[in-house]
């Protein structure tokens, strides 16, 4: 498993968590989360690489900052805000050192 498969699995996992967390069937969860992962995290890539050098403890401390940055990105792109905020929370809470390593590798290999 590599490349886009890692991202797709992460997005599907976050989408299922969104449905469970909100008890709401919002048809756009997967698309909304995909935008935040593919585009929002892509913007933070240089920073995330630095966090990975610091280890898991730094990542745990940075989750709130990640959430805020993803929410700001959603606002800037005029995404559906209440759901975007929930999606940003779910994405940030599911990020750990292993997931971030995989996502960084995958996002780096995407065409610019």
Q: Look up the pTM and report it.
A: 0.73
pLDDT mean across residues, the chain: 82
Instruction: Find the mean pLDDT for residues 60-89.
Output: 88
How large is the average pLDDT for residues 73-79? Answer: 89
Q: Is pLDDT of 23 > 70?
A: no
pLDDT recorded at residue 81 = 77
Nearest CA-CA partner of 29 in 67, 106, 82, 77: 82
Distance, in Å, from the CA atom of 21 to the CA atom of 41, rounded to the nearest integer, reads 22
């Amino acid at each position: 498993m590599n490349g886009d498969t890692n991202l797709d699995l992460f997005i599907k996992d976050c989408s299922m968590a969104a449905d469970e967390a909100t008890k709401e069937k919002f048809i756009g969860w997967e698309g909304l989360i995909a935008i935040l992962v593919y585009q929002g995290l892509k913007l933070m890539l240089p920073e995330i690489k630095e966090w990975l050098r610091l280890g898991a403890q730094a990542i745990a401390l940075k989750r709130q900052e990640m959430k805020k940055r993803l929410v700001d990105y959603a606002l800037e792109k005029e995404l559906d805000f209440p759901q975007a905020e929930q999606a940003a929370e779910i994405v940030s809470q599911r990020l750990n050192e292993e997931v971030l390593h995989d996502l960084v590798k995958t996002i780096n290999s995407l065409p610019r």
